[in-house]
Structure 1
Amino acid sequence: MKVLVIDHLFADEIGSRLRADFPNIDVVTALDSQSAQGEVAACDVIMSLGMNADETLFAQARNLKWVQSLGAGVDKFQSLAALDNLELLTNAKGIHGPQIAEMTILYMISLLRDFPALVRQQDAKNWRRFPGRKLQGRSITIWGLGTIGEEIARICHAFGMTVSAVTRTPRDHPFIDRYYLPGDLAEAASVADFLLAVAPATAENVGRLNADIFQAMRPDSYLINVGRGSLVVEPDLIAALKTGSIAGAALDVASAEPLPPENPLWDMPNTILTPHISGMIEEYPEQVYPIVKTNMAHFLAGRIDQMINRIDPVKPITGSTH
């Protein structure tokens, strides 16, 4: 059996661990889709992040039996026509909460303190003092209450924030003050200093953050997106930022990644852009490998029903989530 691990940072480390734990399988690694071209045809298993979900690459994988996403998102894999007949897709959900929660706090404090302006002042050797605003007492609406959203709620509560959540399944939670159903997203956005998008890119979620939502938000409020770029109608967001309908945004994801240099978001002083790194930490192999190892052991033993984080059905019933 041949396994291909694709990742520009951690492929070799994950591959080395697989070889040590499963010496009877052939493990090859690649930094990206381009360098994987010569290896993919004979692969039974591919392990990769969604950013490497390349149609041309996966169309060559005619022996493919299982895709293990090395991240939580699987929408890019689900959108590939080459994987229409794939029977086994798993992901790495449940491990990203701590680092994405910390980045969310960083985004909020940076926006309230205008930290980008401070960095620009340092670059210009300009000593200018100006007041910031504190996080304590602010409010946040979290759209998407999985393990990441719950961890963000816990930390925001510790900062003395009021926490609302948008979810289909309200439940008793010690750190959430109020719930809204998905159909009430505009109302939920209107009451918060921060609207945080951490929802998955399902068909019903794609494009939900549009002009109607931005008009419902207060002019002193902010959007933070650590979910998927496709959740946002980007021209509507750009218009809201330009006109002052909202105060600013922090975006870890975008409609196109990498974000093209001509995109207006690059030049907006009220916008913080990061290159899809909120879940990326040096310790990531230690986080993800237990899932990889467990699933590989079950896969080799034929215990498919015991594999962790199976996506069932592999393709969304409602259609593409690309």
Structure 2
Amino acid sequence: MKVLVFGEGVDLALEDLAAAAPGYDYVLATDEAATLREAAEAEIIIGLAHVIPGRVLAAAPRLRWIQALTTGTDQLEALPELRPEVVVTAMRGIQGPQMAELTFLLMLSLLRDIRGTLERQAARIWDRRPQKLLHGRTVTILGVGSIAEHLAERCRLFGMRVIGVSAGRQEAPHFDRILPREVLADAAAQADFLVVLVPFSATTRHIVDAGVLAAMRPDAFLVNIARGAVVDEAALLACLAERRIAGAGLDVFAVEPLPADNPLWGLPNVIITPHVGGVSDIYMQQALPALVANLRGWQAEGQAGLRNLTRAAAVGA
């Protein structure tokens, strides 16, 4: 069974994969012509969801399963070349440490005005100021999944109050309260930090809209490490420019890479990171156990043996 592996953006050694999950013919995607030839025989594709092109899917008539090495698969599943009979699985939960650490980087940088501190350092200005603490502050986390649980645990260790907002869960470890999405604006009004972790879907597009932003306090911050489209970027831009909230830490955007002429770049109350929330220097060490479990599960039971299914094969396909 041929497995076409896209190595772009990941440090995945085929020999390690073959040793842990034997019984497959692993082939690395290289130049486009060779990749398209290999795709003709591939039954499985492994890679970051956003680097798997539609032309490869179109050239893979035997394809049955795609293992995305990312949490989000919306870009992949939106490709018209993805046939109904192809199963898609994702990586879930392994990015908890790096997503939580980025959130803390952004929260602390915003709260303590790290941009101003670095500007004063560059100007050689010694200016001691009162330092604001995370301790005692409230974080509202929109989206209560495994990554949110990682973040909530760490927030509690910092002495923060943690509120979750979820469409389905009513309780989860490390949360003080979980509220339904219908009262998102009320939950946002309680927050010193509104952290967006909800997956992108038709129901979550612009879930953080002008109304939610208006409910936030003037001294509150927004942190988006989910998907750009879950926040109404135009409404956020106006809100930040008019200082109706204190600032934002943004890792994701409606258009990526963020265009050089986007006004968000120039706002002094915004910290921008280039969609690095799920990235780590040990990513494949984190991903390999889940990847191997799915490869073994596919051998044993097909779709029924897969974990973290985001798209099942269509009935009758």
Same fold (TM over 0.5): yes
Matches of 1:292 and 1:141, distance apart in 2: 32
RMSD: 2.4
| Other-structure match for 2:2 | 2
TM superposition score normalised by structure 1: 0.89
TM superposition score normalised by structure 2: 0.90
Matches of 1:235 and 1:35, distance apart in 2: 42
Matches of 1:180 and 1:304, distance apart in 2: 34
| Other-structure match for 1:286 | 285
Q: Is the 8 A contact 1:6 1:32 kept in 2?
A: no
Deviation at 1:132, TM superposition (A): 3.0
Deviation at 1:312, TM superposition (A): 4.6
Deviation at 1:266, TM superposition (A): 1.4
Greater CA drift, 27-36 or 142-151: 27-36
| Other-structure match for 1:91 | 90
Which AA in structure 1 matches 2:4? L
Matches of 1:238 and 1:3, distance apart in 2: 44
Matches of 2:33 and 2:123, distance apart in 1: 40
Matches of 1:106 and 1:215, distance apart in 2: 25
Summarize the Cα distance change of 1:56–1:174 in structure 2 as closer, same or farther, 3 Å threshold: closer
Are 2:211 and 1:228 aligned? Answer: no
Which AA in structure 1 matches 2:2? K
Matches of 2:240 and 2:35, distance apart in 1: 40
Q: Is the 8 A contact 2:163 2:179 kept in 1?
A: yes
Deviation at 1:307, TM superposition (A): 1.6
| Other-structure match for 2:144 | 145
Deviation at 1:203, TM superposition (A): 1.1
Matches of 1:154 and 1:145, distance apart in 2: 12
Measured against aligned partners, the alpha-carbon deviations of 1:32-56 in whole angstroms (never above 9, x if no partner) come to: 9899556434322111222214333
| Other-structure match for 1:58 | 57
Deviation at 1:159, TM superposition (A): 1.0
Greater CA drift, 26-35 or 65-74: 26-35
Q: Is the partner of 1:120 in helix, strand or coil?
A: helix
Are 2:193 and 1:194 aligned? Answer: yes
Q: Is the 8 A contact 2:12 2:284 kept in 1?
A: no
Measured against aligned partners, the alpha-carbon deviations of 1:193-223 in whole angstroms (never above 9, x if no partner) come to: 1111000112100111121111111111111
Are 2:51 and 1:49 aligned? Answer: no
Gaps of 5+ in 2: none
Summarize the Cα distance change of 1:176–1:129 in structure 2 as closer, same or farther, 3 Å threshold: same
Which AA in structure 2 matches 1:137? G
Greater CA drift, 277-286 or 114-123: 114-123
Amino-acid identity (%): 38
Q: Is the partner of 1:287 in helix, strand or coil?
A: helix
Deviation at 1:244, TM superposition (A): 0.8
Greater CA drift, 256-265 or 78-87: 78-87
Deviation at 1:69, TM superposition (A): 1.0
Deviation at 1:87, TM superposition (A): 3.0
Matches of 2:124 and 2:33, distance apart in 1: 42
Matches of 1:176 and 1:22, distance apart in 2: 37
Deviation at 1:280, TM superposition (A): 1.2
Measured against aligned partners, the alpha-carbon deviations of 1:128-177 in whole angstroms (never above 9, x if no partner) come to: 33333111111111100000111111111111111111013344445222
Measured against aligned partners, the alpha-carbon deviations of 1:213-267 in whole angstroms (never above 9, x if no partner) come to: 1111111111111111110111111111101111111111111221111111112
Matches of 1:29 and 1:130, distance apart in 2: 54
Q: For residues 1-322 of structure 1, what are the structure 2 equivalents within 5 Å?
A: 1-13=1-13, 15-22=14-21, 24-30=23-29, 36=35, 39-173=38-172, 175-313=174-312
Gaps of 5+ in 1: 316-322
Which AA in structure 1 matches 2:155? C
